[in-house]
A and B are shown apart, each in its own frame.
Chain A
């Protein structure tokens, strides 16, 4: 992974000291809360219902063992023993005291971490395919470009006061595992007409109260020009994005108002002002950073080890875990192992300090010292050799991280909702747990197959309810929590299965009814499905009517 040089280290330390000064001025009353808010938000600090929440950046989701261990320490020392992984591959701590934040950030700086731009109206953490570098269907390892963009956007002086937040995602594989279509800008690797690698650039995606799927703004951008092209987009947005209404301030509204073709013209005109020689990243910088992601010397003998197969034959639990939580690797003999943070009874995405310590140890023993956070609020180990699968399974099982539910209905995405968030209309964590409890038979879960359930506690859509195969939105119905149910959404998989927004089935239901409604949807799918069809396939084929009929008929 990228290793800080002395400049990076100095910058992060200096940012901690700047923030320490801002906190002191706030505590002393020299800064009003109105003035402090944008400053603390630029540094990931939110005021929630009960305490401050600090969001820490995990650039493109990649962590070292030392970083994971430090996060465990932060959870133990400054929180109530837990960290919460988010859909943008960051981690949040929900019980932070304002006065502690400068020291906490100092601890993070020791392991090259920070909270810079994890919130605020600026370019947020860059997210990526969690399987980048190891996926079997990969065209390009996007992590070096993610890192170069991270460096570019961090404290970029021109873009710290954008109309609204700005999120960028990268995907370099056939399958999009980074939800690029619902980001402000998404870069997807492709081949141009001459067969060279290039980017397809998408702009204006986003969820919230006006969900939009991103539109193509460039179909073959040379790889090394991604940063300068993004800069042109940012400049157009900074000048022309709406600032009069925060609900209309995201770039998706600007792109919608102008139309993608006029927006493209604006970007091209802006880009044309950048001298040609400055449009490409320096080749030496790309090469230097790319070399840092060359993590593993793969063992050609690894594929010869097949002891895990024999174990699977006599141990159904292990076999199930292999089927659900282990994915193919680009190198034979290696595996991508998902760590489920969807343990029933736990808020989705939560990891305890003990689990974080255990994960750090595992990463060192079996994964060359790395851990990766995913868009679906799980973690993964991406370099596990066949020979280590049984030991990894045993350790994960002991730590409560081997729940065999990756990609199933249990593996739901869910925002913090009413438990923490001051904007929430409804509980989400509790409802998630009630749904998980309703489907507690692993055979049934496996039979249902790939099914993503996304839930948000309000219209802001942090739980991505618009892109769930089943989406649940918590609303306030005359003072009562109620839940709108939708089906058929997707963050997009590939050209054949693009992103789409889930369609609402009908009137909102009570909290008590949610698990039963989900059960009815699942039952409808199981009745209607053709062999081999997933839930989403069936919705696409038969439409929402049969589902609606079953729930409301």
Chain B
């Protein structure tokens, strides 16, 4: 039986089962594939917690500067788009992926519609949790809508290794 849409994500341009869990509060037992808020992640990290496989959540208003030095230790970053029209996570993604060269998975979740996918993909996002009412299988077609892009330099469509 096919998985219900709410269990699906788009990963590197294809439909796949969701594999990450997102936690607003730090769970008692941390495990790989969990994401916790950025400040909690940094706090635990400073305190010497191993954080194996634990990713972090970035909100639009997060200050990314403290993050840069830890980049190699972060297995995945989850960007939270709270509102369709809020573009801050696009700049977060571009900075992390293109300016800082982050190789891991960049996931977006929240108010994510198919109409944002191509833009997000091009700023470096490679994993998408769409809003629950979205048809994931139809949305994946968005990636083939555009074959031509203007921007040069570091903005290139990427398909990063997860």
| Stretch touching chain B among A152-160, A399-407, A420-428 | A152-160
| Stretch touching chain A among B14-22, B30-38, B48-56, B112-120 | B112-120
Looking at the complex, which one of A17, A152, A162, A278 makes contact with B150 (CB distance below 8 Å)? Answer: A152
Report if A239 contacts B (CB, 8 A).
Answer: yes
Cβ–Cβ contact A160 & B150, under 8 A: no
Report if A307 contacts B (CB, 8 A).
Answer: no
| CB-defined contacts of A262 to chain B, threshold 8 Å | none
Most chain B beta-carbon neighbours within 10 Å: one of A15, A156, A273: A156
Report if A287 contacts B (CB, 8 A).
Answer: no
Report if B69 contacts A (CB, 8 A).
Answer: no
| CB-defined contacts of A235 to chain B, threshold 8 Å | 91, 94-95
Cβ–Cβ contact A11 & B85, under 8 A: no
Q: Mark A381-394, 1 if CB is under 8 A from B, else 0.
A: 00000000000000
Complex Cα distance, B116 from A38, in Å, reads 11
Cβ–Cβ contact B148 & A11, under 8 A: yes
Cβ–Cβ contact A152 & B86, under 8 A: no
Q: Which A503-549 residues have a C-beta within 8 angstroms of B?
A: none
Cβ-closest chain B residue relative to A15: B146
Whether A10 contacts B115 in the complex (CB less than 8 A), given A238-B90, A238-B91, comes out as no
Report if A257 contacts B (CB, 8 A).
Answer: no
Complex Cα distance, B150 from A155, in Å, reads 8
Looking at the complex, which one of B60, B84, B91, B147 makes contact with A35 (CB distance below 8 Å)? Answer: B84
Complex Cα distance, B149 from A495, in Å, reads 39
User: Secondary structure of the B side of the interface?
Assistant: loop
Cβ–Cβ contact B145 & A10, under 8 A: no
Q: Mark A10-49, 1 if CB is under 8 A from B, else 0.
A: 1100110110011000000000000100110000000000
Looking at the complex, which one of B86, B95, B121 makes contact with A161 (CB distance below 8 Å)? Answer: B86
Whether A10 contacts B86 in the complex (CB less than 8 A), given A157-B120, A235-B91, comes out as no
Cβ–Cβ contact A121 & B85, under 8 A: yes
Q: Mark B23-45, 1 if CB is under 8 A from A, else 0.
A: 00000000000000000000000
Q: Which B112-160 residues have a C-beta within 8 angstroms of A?
A: 113, 115, 118-123, 145-155
Whether A18 contacts B145 in the complex (CB less than 8 A), given A160-B90, A235-B91, comes out as yes
Q: Mark B76-99, 1 if CB is under 8 A from A, else 0.
A: 000000001111101100110001
Complex Cα distance, B94 from A222, in Å, reads 25
How far does the Cβ of A126 sit from chain B's closest Cβ, in whole Å? 13
Whether A157 contacts B122 in the complex (CB less than 8 A), given A11-B150, A38-B85, A278-B153, comes out as yes
Complex Cα distance, B94 from A35, in Å, reads 24
Cβ–Cβ contact A161 & B87, under 8 A: yes
Report if A77 contacts B (CB, 8 A).
Answer: no
Cβ–Cβ contact B145 & A278, under 8 A: no
| CB-defined contacts of B90 to chain A, threshold 8 Å | 157-161, 238
Report if A192 contacts B (CB, 8 A).
Answer: no
Complex Cα distance, B87 from A161, in Å, reads 4
Cβ–Cβ contact A159 & B87, under 8 A: yes
In the complex, 21 of the A-B residue pairs with CB atoms within 8 angstroms, ordered by the A residue number, are A7-B148, A35-B113, A38-B84, A38-B85, A121-B85, A152-B151, A155-B150, A157-B120, A158-B119, A159-B90, A160-B90, A161-B84, A161-B87, A162-B87, A235-B91, A238-B88, A238-B90, A239-B91, A273-B95, A278-B154, A282-B152
Q: A156-B151, A157-B121 given. 7 additional CB < 8 A pairs?
A: A155-B119, A157-B94, A158-B119, A162-B87, A238-B91, A243-B86, A273-B99
What residues make up the interface of B, taking CB atoms closer than 8 Å to A?
60, 84-88, 90-91, 94-95, 99, 113, 115, 118-123, 145-155
What residues make up the interface of A, taking CB atoms closer than 8 Å to B?
7-8, 10-11, 14-15, 17-18, 21-22, 35, 38-39, 121, 151-152, 154-163, 228, 235, 238-239, 243, 273-274, 278, 282, 285
